[in-house]
């Protein structure tokens, strides 16, 4: 995680680190559109300090002690957003996209629990809030990448024409490696990785997800 990296670089400030995450397209924040996010820190006083510093009448901040969960939701949602874009690019409809987002959240939650996060975090702003925005918003670069892939464009072609980074492209590889390392099943994230890096056809990926072995919706849910 980013706080883990910062803790290594600045060990004297390890207990003073905080993260802000939630459904917050930068352009809307800059225009003072009402936005709500979470401030997470191991030290509740640090989280509260960040809350007070950033809070305005148009930027509301809640505190959350779950640093791992808040960061994980903010990162992995970008991978699911690529998948959501692929669904839209393939023209698979709103039912498919809603199911994709829901099961994507299940995967994020599953990984988070394995890494010690609070499962309730993923029902909050940095979880389902950020996920829904990034999977459906027209300003989402990750969704745009996925949509173009679903429409038949290659990743190299897409990235060569993008002026801003779509974090999910790189995060897909990190999430794939991490999920294998800790033994967490993430079929949607795996499919995004395969489409991006193993040349799996996006329509074939969708078919494979729909024809996986049948199971309980609550399997592996704690």
List active site positions: 77
Other C-beta atoms closer than 10 Å to the C-beta of 74 total 26
For 177-199, b where at least 16 C-beta lie within 10 A, e where not — what string?
ebbeeeebebebbbbbbbbbeee
Compute the chain's Rg from CA coordinates: 18
CA distances from 102 to 135, 194, 203, 219 (A): 11, 20, 20, 14
Tell me the two tokens of residue 74.
């903010």
Looking at the DSSP assignment, which residues form a beta bridge with residue 20? 39
145 and 169 Cβ atoms separated by less than 8 Å: yes
Instruction: Name 54's Cβ contacts closer than 8 Å, sequence gap at least 6.
Output: 20, 37, 39, 61
Q: Determine the angle formed by the axes of helices 67-90 and 167-182, rounding to 10 degrees.
A: 120
């Amino acid at each position: 995680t980013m706080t883990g990296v910062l803790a290594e670089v600045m060990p004297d400030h390890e207990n003073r680190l905080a993260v802000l995450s939630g459904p917050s397209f930068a352009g809307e924040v800059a225009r003072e559109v009402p936005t709500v996010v979470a401030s997470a820190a191991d030290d509740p006083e640090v989280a509260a300090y960040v809350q007070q510093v950033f809070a305005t009448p148009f930027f509301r901040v809640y505190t959350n002690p779950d640093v791992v969960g808040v960061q994980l939701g903010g990162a992995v949602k970008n991978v699911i957003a690529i998948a959501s874009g692929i669904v839209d690019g393939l023209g698979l409809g709103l039912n498919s996209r809603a199911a994709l987002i829901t099961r994507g959240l299940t995967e994020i939650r599953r990984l988070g629990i394995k890494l010690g996060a609070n499962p309730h975090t993923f029902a909050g702003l940095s979880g389902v809030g950020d996920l829904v925005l990034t999977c459906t918003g027209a300003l989402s670069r990750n969704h745009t990448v996925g949509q173009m892939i679903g429409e038949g464009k290659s990743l190299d072609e897409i990235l060569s024409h993008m002026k801003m980074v779509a974090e999910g492209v790189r995060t897909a590889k990190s999430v794939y490696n991490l999920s294998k390392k800790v033994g967490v099943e993430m079929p949607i994230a795996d499919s995004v990785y395969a489409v991006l890096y193993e040349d799996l056809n996006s329509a074939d990926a969708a078919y494979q997800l729909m024809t996986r072995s049948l199971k309980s919706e609550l399997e592996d849910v704690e």
